[in-house]
Amino acid sequence: MISERYGKRDTERGVSTTFMWFIEEVGELATALASDNKTNKAEEFADVFAWLCTLANISGVNLEKACEKYTDTEGIEGLK
């Protein structure tokens, strides 16, 4: 969905600039985590996730497939 909606603009921005936006959002999440504002925390988690998805998209990484590292219990020691 993110790729469909923002893919052209994200690709034009490039990985380096997108990574800087991602890091900025991680910083905002860090600030939100230090507060008691649950709404702001949720918003910042969503922003970090969206920018992570964008980085994966423009880097040619299928994030859903990459996350199988943690969801495939056959491949995770201790979850077998």
DSSP string, the chain: -HHHHHHHHHHHH-HHHHHHHHHHHHHHHHHHHTSS-HHHHHHHHHHHHHHHHHHHHHTT--HHHHTHHHH-GGGSTT--
The reported pLDDT for the residue numbered 48 is 98
Q: Is the domain covering 2-75 a CATH 3.30.70.270 domain? A: no
pTM for this predicted structure: 0.83
Position 21 pLDDT exceeds 70 = yes
Which tens digits make up the pLDDT trace of 23-75?
999 999 999 999 999 999 999 999 999 999 999 999 999 999 999 888 876 65
- 69's CB contacts (< 8 A; 6+ apart) are 75, 76
Position 78 pLDDT exceeds 90 = no
The reported pLDDT for the residue numbered 79 is 52
